[in-house]
Each structure stands twice: as C-alpha cells, then as structure tokens.
Structure 1
Amino acid sequence: MLYGDLGDVDIFKIHKRSGKVSLLKYDDFDGKPLPELQERVKVNLRRQFIEVFDHRSPDRQEILYFKERYVAKDHPKRAMWEEFSRCLQNLDLDLNTGYGPSKQELLSLLAGKGLTIDIKRAGNSAEVNEQE
C-alpha cells in the first residue's frame, strides 16, 4: 500500500500521460465556498513512489475556485457554489489563469474594490458584499 486513508481526500486528479495521481485535501471542502489546500500527495504509479506536499503555509494560502466543477451535478450545494463562482467572475477577478489569487491576494483585491466575503457557516452560504 502506498497511501493510507483515501476517505480524507477531497479531490483525485489523474495525470494520464505521466502515470501519476494527485490526492488533494482541503480544509472543510463541503462547508467553505473557498476551501484552502492543506495537503497534496502525488503518487507515481509507474515507480510506486509518493511525494507529500504541505500547503499550510500562511505566506500563500492556495484556495480552490469553482469547486462545483469537482462535484456531481446533483450535489445538494452545487447550485449555491455556482452562484458564488458567478459572483466572483462578475468582479472581473482573473480566476482562469493558473491557480487564481491566493487567499491573501483575493482579500486584498476585494478590499481594493470596497468588498468583503461574507461566509455564513450555519447556512453554508456565502456572499460578496460592499464594505461598510
């Protein structure tokens, strides 16, 4: 066995050409509209070799944009996540290149536009609002 409990993994990425699989763990994938990457495990299936990368650095917190793309069409929260993604796209943030802005960069960009992200944990909803 190369890797332990797969139940902790939120996203599996299959790299067909290289024969690798990436296992991505996020903090509160289902609860946060923009979960932060915590750990990435890259498994080289051909060589049976694994690499573990810790992404919990406070310097660059990598967040997952458009997470509705990674869940089934009938996921109960998919429509809410799609609406949140549309809201971010309407802000003219460049979310389509690379990994998108880090958490710190996003908060700075929003503050520059006079906006904040309001995340209501109990109802699992999220909104982009004007700063008061």
Structure 2
Amino acid sequence: MAGLNRDTPAPVAMTVHARSRVLEVAFADGASFRIPFELMRVYSPSAEVQGHGPGQEVLQTGKREVAIASLAPVGNYAVQPTFSDGHDSGIYSWDYLYFLGSQQQQLWQDYEQRLAHAGVDRDAPMAAKSAGACGH
C-alpha cells in the first residue's frame, strides 16, 4: 500500500475527532468518510499487523477504546498515526484511507468473521508477543 494510485483523489481536509474516536477525511472527489480509530488500528498496514505475507495477519483485539495520540504527515502521500496503545508503524497512504473509508461496512463484517472464527471477543486483551515476533 506504499504507492499512490494516480486515480485516487487526494484528501482536502483531515480532522482527528478525539471524543468520537474517528478520523474524518474529505477527498477531492467530494467523498467524505468518518473512519473509526478502531478500524484503522485493526487494519493497520504495518508488518506488525499484516505479517510478512498472506495468512500471517495478526488478529487485533481490545482496540475499541484506542485513540490517536498524534498524526504525522509522510511526504505528500500518507499519514502515520501514533495510537494510544503505542502502535506507530502503520503508514496510511491516501489510497489506503480511501479504501478504509469506502469499504468500512465490509471490513467490519470481515473483522467480526475473523474474530468468530478465532473464537475471540473483540474486547479481549491482545496476547503477549512471542519471542519469535518479527520486531516491527
């Protein structure tokens, strides 16, 4: 997700709503999304969450109350949030933010199915990292 699709509109406004825990993003094509911090955190594009290949994704839990502590620009193509749980390695390109915003309903359904399949509650604390973790 590092690159930019030339067809993806650039954001024209971005607001972190701390109280309601959503990132509001308005794009040049008129689309506007309110992306919950939890959704952003659960679908972080980082290797820590996505793994290093298909099937290596790490199911995230206990993120309902996560906040964005800070949001740093990355060039002219992305932002890098620091979440209240310390996670800060995800770089969210404009493409990826547009994807998260436009596909929210499907992404929530997929997340709930993954939780059910794993037999884990959405609010369960994350398991401790194993010694063999990739270190990202």
Range into which the TM-score falls when normalised by the shorter chain: 0.3 to 0.5
Q: Kindly indicate which of the two structures has a greater share of residues assigned to strand.
A: 1
Query: Rg bigger for which structure?
Result: 1
Which of structures 1 and 2 has the larger relative contact order (alpha carbons within 8 angstroms, sep 6+)?
A: 2
